[in-house]
Structure 1
Amino acid sequence: MTYTSIDACGQHHPPAGPDARIASLVPSLSELLFALGLGTQLVARTHYCIHPAAELAAVPSVGGTKKINHRRLAALAPTHVLLNIDENTQELSAQLAAYVPQRIVTHPCAPQDNFALYRLLGRVFDREAEAEALCAGLQQRLERLDARRWPGRRVLYLIWREPWMSVGADTYIARMLERVGWQTWPRPAAVRYPQIEITPQLLAEVDLVLFSSEPYRFTAADLEHFAATTGCAPHRLRLIDGEMTSWYGSRALAGVDYLHDFAAACA
């Protein structure tokens, strides 16, 4: 096992001690804190932090992932704030530096990156045993996923409409889907979340069109409308749980199990 106290920006973080007051500006990481037994030390969250719902109801919200109420957060006196390179801006991180001593920056880009994430927080916040339990659970699930031979497929994974938006190959979502042999399509260079045009040619190139539940909450009605307006056969269209494919942290365990069953049902 490899433990490190160095985050995704190369910053070293000393042990936090039992009095750490943690703010999480990343939904996946808020959920992970509870899985690590750190829920009582979480003093602030975003309004997008929704799991676990009952426990988070008592934690003050300070805004979104890009824009927060700094006065409110400062009043809560956090010693640490959890950030993510994709979900929070550099400008926000720089503003937080004025009053939060430790900014822990994360950047999981694939399911296996969760091992380092668990161990980073486990070491900083003295939860190494809990971190190892999560690692063991994820390892078991990934081995189950990898033990099955999955047929290769091209999938169009939609996250937004008006305009249509998809995911590029260099995303956590795409790397999750790769574990079951699914390649996200189209594959524009250097674009992580591209705007796309739905054309007959594009639909002819893919095996499945996946409609995510987030950030746009697609419904069965959207699939019906899509089939009617594009002529795409309904059996090629699927709703998919976006939390299970895009949330890292402790949600990755349930996410890998979900993806196994989802892909098996599409086989």
Structure 2
Amino acid sequence: MSEALLDALGQIHTLATGEPRIVSLVPSLTELLCELGLADRLVGRTGFCIHPRDTLRRIPKVGGTKDVKVEAVRTLAPTHLVVNIDENRRDTVEALAAFVPTVIVTHPCMPADNFGLYRLFGGIFGRMEEAAALTRALQAAIAEAAATAAGLPPEKVLYLIWRQPWMAVSPATYIAAMLAAVGWQTLPAATEPRYPEIDWRAPWLGEVQRVLLSSEPYRFGEAHLAEVTALCGRPAMAVDGEYCSWYGSRAAAGLHYLARLRRAVARPGVQTGG
């Protein structure tokens, strides 16, 4: 007997029949659907769903991840809605569930959770071969990340996502789990709030060895590297936020990226900015 297809709420899903009409409210999962060969089944997406760019230009937008236009979704008559516990508002999803027959709820918290996403989407939409290929790619990426972490001493980092107020990520986030895979331990150590504001006078900042400035949601630039180093006296470097925070099909590429970066900055003489 095959294993049941369960989403993040424990809802059981079955193979879609007919011609699915999918609305995705999650940028990472819109990209995953396209990687699975389902671009022609997408009928709606958010304005933040931007990859793959050329493919998505023809797909209607239905607002943002937090401000979905419910009536715009209704007009598209979707059979399936893809949402995420962190990225979408519960009240909006409940309103959409009143007329969308199938709502797929996701909540990946670490790189390995993507295996479940591949199986879930592959099983629902009949793309198991494509899902298996993504699984193999992620297995290789996780192995590379683990080897990188094992070959270097752990390093404590501060991963910044916003400025004014300065904000970081806690160890309870998917981003922190991606960084931990290559041996970067995020501070502050408290798991709540998940996206804490930073007081540059906090005693725990003395433990930070490196500051990582994400390219999203705040677009940090070169000028911010020197600013951050002046604030905390630690080396700062820019990182690609999409590789660190986008799950789904981008997870393998993200782990490869972080493993390469971790090894590069560990080499003597490498300049990291700041």
- Relative to the length of structure 2, the TM-score reads 0.92
Amino acid at match of 2:244: T
CA contact (8 A) 1:4 1:120 kept: no
Residue-pair matches, total: 263
Question: CA offset at residue 225 of structure 1?
Answer: 2.6
CA offset digits 1:160-185 (Å, max 9, x no partner)? 01111111111111111111111100
Q: Which residue of 1 aligns with 2:233?
A: 232
CA offset digits 1:69-124 (Å, max 9, x no partner)? 11111111100000001101111111111111111000110000000000000000
Kindly indicate whether residue 264 of structure 2 is the aligned counterpart of residue 262 of structure 1. Answer: no
SS of structure 2 residue aligned to 1:250: helix
Kindly indicate whether residue 168 of structure 2 is the aligned counterpart of residue 140 of structure 1. Answer: no
Structure 1 stretches of at least 4 aligned residues deviating more than 6 Å after TM superposition:
none
Question: CA offset at residue 132 of structure 1?
Answer: 0.5
Alpha-carbon distance in structure 1 between the residues aligned to 2:3 and 2:89: 27
CA offset digits 1:6-36 (Å, max 9, x no partner)? 1000111121124000000000000000110
SS of structure 2 residue aligned to 1:111: coil
Amino acid at match of 2:72: R
Which of 162, 180, 200 does residue 182 from structure 2 map onto?
A: 180
Amino acid at match of 1:106: T
Q: Which residue of 1 aligns with 2:244?
A: 245
Q: Which residue of 1 aligns with 2:78?
A: 78
Q: How does 1:1-267 map to 2 (within 5 A)?
A: 3-148=3-148, 149-199=151-201, 201-228=203-230, 230=231, 232-233=233-234, 236-267=235-266
Amino acid at match of 2:259: H
Amino acid at match of 2:257: Y
CA contact (8 A) 1:3 1:123 kept: no
Amino acid at match of 2:265: C
Alpha-carbon distance in structure 1 between the residues aligned to 2:264 and 2:3: 37
Amino acid at match of 2:85: I
Alpha-carbon distance in structure 1 between the residues aligned to 2:180 and 2:191: 18
SS of structure 1 residue aligned to 2:112: helix
SS of structure 1 residue aligned to 2:142: helix
CA contact (8 A) 1:30 1:51 kept: yes
CA contact (8 A) 2:70 2:92 kept: no
SS of structure 1 residue aligned to 2:257: helix
Alpha-carbon distance in structure 1 between the residues aligned to 2:260 and 2:23: 34
Identical pairs, percent: 51
Gaps of 5+ in 2: 267-274
Amino acid at match of 1:232: G
CA offset digits 1:43-89 (Å, max 9, x no partner)? 00000001000000000000000111111111111000000011011
SS of structure 2 residue aligned to 1:104: strand
Alpha-carbon distance in structure 2 between the residues aligned to 1:216 and 1:134: 29
Amino acid at match of 1:208: R
Question: CA offset at residue 254 of structure 1?
Answer: 0.9
CA contact (8 A) 1:82 1:105 kept: yes
Question: CA offset at residue 195 of structure 1?
Answer: 1.2
Alpha-carbon distance in structure 2 between the residues aligned to 1:227 and 1:111: 30
Question: CA offset at residue 146 of structure 1?
Answer: 1.4
Question: CA offset at residue 42 of structure 1?
Answer: 0.4
Alpha-carbon distance in structure 2 between the residues aligned to 1:134 and 1:3: 19
Question: CA offset at residue 203 of structure 1?
Answer: 3.7
Residue range with higher mean Cα deviation, 201-210 or 13-22 = 201-210
Alpha-carbon distance in structure 2 between the residues aligned to 1:42 and 1:226: 41
Alpha-carbon distance in structure 1 between the residues aligned to 2:36 and 2:42: 12
Root-mean-square deviation (CA, aligned residues, Å) is 1.4
Amino acid at match of 1:70: V
Gaps of 5+ in 1: none
Question: CA offset at residue 3 of structure 1?
Answer: 4.9
SS of structure 2 residue aligned to 1:211: strand
